Amino acid sequence: MKEAQQQLNDLGYMAGEIDGKVGRKTIRAVYLFQWCNGLKTTKTLDADTLSWLQNERKIDAQHCQYIINYQQFSLM
């Protein structure tokens, strides 16, 4: 858990304190990571999510924000 929290923080998803506990910030970070990377949004560190955290092509939070902004703009 601590390693995943660190990876999420390094990617800018703001998982909170690296304490190994699944709190509100970690759940939110996992959800955003899953959504931004096209994974099923389970809000849990399932096998797919843990595997994708190791993927070189994972999308960081900054690039995810561009995706969100584009989708909002294209809906107008």
Residue-wise pLDDT for 17-53, tens only, equals: 999 999 999 999 999 999 999 999 999 999 999 999 9
Q: Which pLDDT score, from 0 to 100, does residue 34 have?
A: 94
Residue boundaries of the structural domains of the chain: 2-74
Place of tokens 């990617």: 11
Using alpha carbons only, give the angle 43, 45, 47 rounded to the nearest 5 degrees: 125
Q: What are phi and psi of 47, to 5 degrees?
A: -60, -40
Using alpha carbons only, give the angle 72, 30, 17 rounded to the nearest 5 degrees: 115
Residue-wise pLDDT for 66-75, tens only, equals: 777 666 555 4
Burial class (CB in 10 A: 0-12, 13-18, 19+), 74: exposed
Pick the CATH number of 2-74 from 1.10.530, 3.30.200, 1.10.101, 1.10.10: 1.10.101
